[in-house]
Amino acid sequence: MQRSILILGGTAEARALAGKLAGDPRFTVELSLAGRTRAPAEQPVPVRVGGFGGAGGLAAYLRQKDVSILIDATHPYAAQISRNAAKAAEVSGIPLVALRRSPWLRQPGDRWIEVESVADAVNALGKAPRKAFLTLGRQELLPFEAAPQYAYLVRSVDPVEPPLAVPNAVYLTARGPFEQADEARLLRDHGIEAIVAKNSGGPASYGKIAAARDLGIDVILIRRPDLPDVPSVETVQEMLAWLDHAPVPLK
Ligand SMILES: NC(=O)c1ccc[n+]([C@@H]2O[C@H](COP(=O)([O-])OP(=O)(O)OC[C@H]3O[C@@H](n4cnc5c(N)ncnc54)[C@H](OP(=O)(O)O)[C@@H]3O)[C@@H](O)[C@H]2O)c1
């Protein structure tokens, strides 16, 4: 009997996993996206888009679609959906496994300042005017309006609309992966003195971290949120191995 998998996605890993499972006769697979980006990347399996209406809504969806395995392959900073997934799995008795990339670890030469929130990142930029490269989601940029003395280079997947109410900001739209050499060129060309980023982990956005190390640039990293304690793996390969031995649903 085929088992039905729901992948909560929005990451490169979720897409790669879906690609590996597409066509596997043991499973039917659906991928769920939050709908944050206007033109999401093509996905190799059927996709549904938008919130479920909290943990209860997700649990109802799991039952309605007769899902046998729930995979949380969301971004490490998307903590709410991960909490909802844990709760929905608990109430529905459907096995949940998370695919969570490990965070980047500080290397010799890194000039990292770790902070709890975007507001703390603004404070960590210091008093003197500086040129900062912001690689945060466009919904997270508003706190920088409190610091109009800095010049900003902002990179996001979708345009920042409306733009920030600061006098000096340049906007780039781009989707990773980003190579170290290109990132180094960007940092030099724009005279960047500090980067504000999330500790996303994985190779796709590590180029700026490695380039900053080489160039002696400060990196203000927003700490990862706490995530629920559920069975988890770190790579697509490990997830495929887990699925080979996945438990049958308890329903
Ligand atoms: N979501 C992404 O694809 C994504 C990708 C890259 C980075 N991030 C980063 O993660 C942080 C929080 O982002 P966020 O607001 O998207 O996450 P979130 O705070 O964990 O989720 C907020 C709500 O969005 C809905 N949602 C999130 N992911 C979903 C999915 N895969 N399928 C269906 N619904 C989903 C859920 O709505 P309901 O409660 O209504 O179900 C959830 O409660 C930000 O820093 C963002 O930049 C997110």
Domains in the chain with CATH codes = 3-102+226-244 (3.40.50.720), 112-222 (3.40.50.1980)
**Cα–Cα nearest to 134, from 10, 147, 182:** 147
Rounded Cα distance, 132 and 53, in Å: 36
Inform me whether the pLDDT recorded for 173 exceeds 90.
yes
**Cis peptide bond prior to 148, omega within 30° of 0:** no
How many C-beta neighbours within 10 Å does residue 11 have?
21
Tell me: the pLDDT tens digits for 49-64?
999 999 999 999 999 9
pTM: 0.93
Phi and psi at residue 140, to the nearest 5°: -100, 5
Confidence of residue 240 (pLDDT cuts 50, 70, 90): very high
To the nearest whole percent, how much of the chain has pLDDT over 70?
Answer: 98
Token code pair at residue 72: 């949380």
Confidence of residue 144 (pLDDT cuts 50, 70, 90): very high
**DSSP sequence for 40-89:** PPP-SS-EEES--SHHHHHHHHHHHTT-SEEEE---TT-HHHHHHHHHHH
Token code pair at residue 183: 């990132």
Confidence of residue 246 (pLDDT cuts 50, 70, 90): confident
SS (H, E, C) 182-212: HHHHHHHHCCCCEEEEECCCCCCCCHHHHHH
Q: Give residue 38's pLDDT.
A: 85
By most ligand atoms within 8 Å of CB, the mutation choice from 29, 75, 115, 135 for ligand 1 is: 75
Confidence of residue 251 (pLDDT cuts 50, 70, 90): very low
- Protein residue with least CA distance to atom 15, ligand 1: 78
Cα of 81 vs centre of ligand 1, distance in Å, is: 6
**Cis peptide bond prior to 103, omega within 30° of 0:** no
- Ligand 1 atom showing the smallest separation from residue 79 Cα: 20
Mean pLDDT of 108-135: 94
Q: Which amino acids bring their CB within 6 angstroms of ligand 1?
A: 8-10, 32-34, 36, 51-54, 57-58, 74-75, 77-81, 84, 137, 140
Cα of 72 vs centre of ligand 1, distance in Å, is: 11
Q: Residue 12 is inside which H or E element, if any?
A: helix 12-21
> Letter for the amino acid at 90?
E
Cα of 103 vs centre of ligand 1, distance in Å, is: 19
Inform me whether the pLDDT recorded for 250 exceeds 60.
no
Confidence of residue 127 (pLDDT cuts 50, 70, 90): confident
Mean pLDDT of 140-156: 96
